[in-house]
Structure 1
């Protein structure tokens, strides 16, 4: 012990210096390794963050493309909708008879009354249904296409949709979007007939001499609306009836699996399965509470636009006639009918851009159908569309 103590005392400074040197070196190496690992981790996190932001930007850009396409498609349908309504509810024959001084003049005016009011209300319904149907279908397709491209694979398997391991080809997209054409060519005439019957019930006993203001006319339109929407049963609402959408889901699960297995034997039947399931997805959405709420919001927007235009035309007529009395937005029904007949089908751009429920409903559909489950993703989860960001830019 004495030798060790003497050695330690003799080389005390050297031992302290050596301890500091080796201890400091060890600490420096450990700290450097820690900083290096932290730098690598931060670099990886930064790269992931950049990737997520890029993916989010791509999704948002794709969503806006779908929105622009759907808005243009709605405007492109205006002429076809107007033609179908004009054919179904034409009053030209009655007007021609009036020109030739037909003896049943009052009866003809009654028919023109029903026809003109039915035409206006059918226009509002047709625009509303077309707007939401186009938004629903294009956002379903857009969501699936984005999911397919982002996952670098074909469709992922969903229990709900049964769309699996298939590509959404342009041919399938075209066939699916034919639902819109079917509504215009077949659904609108059916809608016009339903609306006309309900207009007869509400307006038939309303005298042509009765003074009508905008508020009272709106009340009558709402009465017609209640009758129209109460025509069909509870299981399938009147919109699905007009779209001719039917759920193609056998009740027995085993029978369903057998049918699907048999259908997968040929390419044509595979397309049929995809179309069936796309239509099933559409059917489910049309039956949802969100759809009904969005429908009511869009219907009210188009109806308010129609009533505003009607008010402007009434006011213009009164000003043109230089009426000296206090101007009021009311006319005898007989004078209101020609104004209703001359009103043209329009689609206000602001309704498509600024309707809150429509934008939320559309973005939710897109997000739902481009969602990639956590355990099936090839990379980090895609962040969802920032709905608040979308709405702020739209409002």
Structure 2
């Protein structure tokens, strides 16, 4: 019996050896596959958790950015109004000042300047904060992932506070340079405009486009090309290699990039289109146009002097008739109070500044810019 078994094994030895190799290989491959599958599943779960954590961190950053913008823009608006104060001139006109024409010329420049500065400054502040917060948030998230690396440079509270304080310079100091610059450009464009000149909405639009063109042509002061000149204070010594310096240099590089400049130009153009939409209401509704005629003199006492400046025009359009905005004309002196009221001293629900701020906060291009910066740093 044993001899027959030995004979069987001897005759089929190669088959047994081959079968053993095959079975062992199958078992090895199955175990290897199971281990790799388990590793893949664990890696996918880890990546999913990391993406979820990264997304939650980003969403928190976005909420913080929106809240910070809403807080800082209140101070920025006050700074713009302070630098382009029209209330003193309006009060002088109400009191019947002798030199009304000179006052009207000053009011013309300041009234046209104020909404223009609001559009430029709000665009600059929102763009600045999107870049600033997403850069530092990306670095802080990366720090939390590399806590075990002793060589990693952690962003401490002192660096964080110093970095976040950069925006204060623009709100309190940069806005002065910006307002003076835009005022000078408005003075150049509006110098030849008579207060009695009849303008259509398209004429007013061309005035603002002439101002933006003049601003863009000045390469040394253009707020888009010289974004960092208005928004950052140069207080770092040459050769500094601190974490703060690296963060700030990175922000400089991003702010001066062509992509950011193109995005700002696009948003600024949209801001002036919005301004024209707000003003067009007064050209499309005869009843409001007539009410402005009384407001233009700012008071009953100055009405005679005001009427000597303004060209009286009888309104023959019936309220039920269609009003062609592009053909409706209005004296510049009547338009000035309208433009001045686009950014009132006391904010209202639908004034230009508030409307423009909401559009910038929810601007998809700015959100995409911030998300790309955050992802790149992470």
Q: Distance in 2 between matches of 1:211 and 1:29?
A: 97
Cα distance, 1:106 vs structure 2: 1.6
Check the 8 A contact 1:91/1:116 in 2, yes or no: yes
Aligned residue number for residue 120 of structure 2: 125
Aligned residue number for residue 179 of structure 1: 166
Kindly provide the CA deviation profile for residues 194-222 of structure 1, in whole angstroms up to 9, marking residues without a partner as x. Answer: 11110000011112222333333232222
Q: Distance in 2 between matches of 1:193 and 1:69?
A: 31
Matches for 1:312-323 after TM superposition, within 5 Å = 312-316=281-285, 318=287, 323=317
Does residue 44 of structure 2 align to residue 49 of structure 1?
yes
Q: Distance in 2 between matches of 1:225 and 1:59?
A: 40
Does residue 62 of structure 2 align to residue 63 of structure 1?
no
Cα distance, 1:349 vs structure 2: 3.0
Kindly provide the CA deviation profile for residues 109-141 of structure 1, in whole angstroms up to 9, marking residues without a partner as x. Answer: 111111111001000011011001101110111
Cα distance, 1:187 vs structure 2: 0.9
Aligned residue number for residue 191 of structure 1: 178
294 and 11 in structure 1: CA distance in 2 versus 1, 3 angstrom threshold: same
Cα distance, 1:277 vs structure 2: 2.8
Aligned residue number for residue 337 of structure 2: 338
Aligned residue number for residue 253 of structure 1: none
Cα distance, 1:62 vs structure 2: 1.5
Aligned residue number for residue 369 of structure 1: 377
Kindly provide the CA deviation profile for residues 267-292 of structure 1, in whole angstroms up to 9, marking residues without a partner as x. Answer: xxxxxx33333222222222111120
Q: TM-score, normalised by structure 2?
A: 0.79
Aligned residue number for residue 361 of structure 2: 352
Check the 8 A contact 2:170/2:230 in 1, yes or no: yes
339 and 131 in structure 1: CA distance in 2 versus 1, 3 angstrom threshold: same
Consecutive unaligned residues of structure 2, counting only runs of 5 or more, are 291-314, 344-352
Aligned residue number for residue 293 of structure 2: none
Aligned residue number for residue 216 of structure 1: 203
Cα distance, 1:147 vs structure 2: 0.8
Cα distance, 1:232 vs structure 2: 4.7
Match of 1:227 among 214, 225, 237: 214
Aligned residue number for residue 298 of structure 1: 267
Consecutive unaligned residues of structure 1, counting only runs of 5 or more, are 1-6, 157-164, 251-255, 261-272, 371-395
Determine helix, strand or coil for the equivalent of 2:199.
strand
Match of 2:323 among 327, 330, 348: 327
Q: Distance in 2 between matches of 1:235 and 1:98?
A: 34
Aligned residue number for residue 373 of structure 1: none
Cα distance, 1:57 vs structure 2: 2.1
Cα distance, 1:67 vs structure 2: 1.8
Check the 8 A contact 1:137/1:282 in 2, yes or no: yes
Kindly provide the CA deviation profile for residues 323-352 of structure 1, in whole angstroms up to 9, marking residues without a partner as x. Answer: 426413343222211111212321443443
Q: Distance in 2 between matches of 1:340 and 1:235?
A: 23
Check the 8 A contact 1:211/1:333 in 2, yes or no: yes
Coordinate RMSD, CA, aligned = 3.0
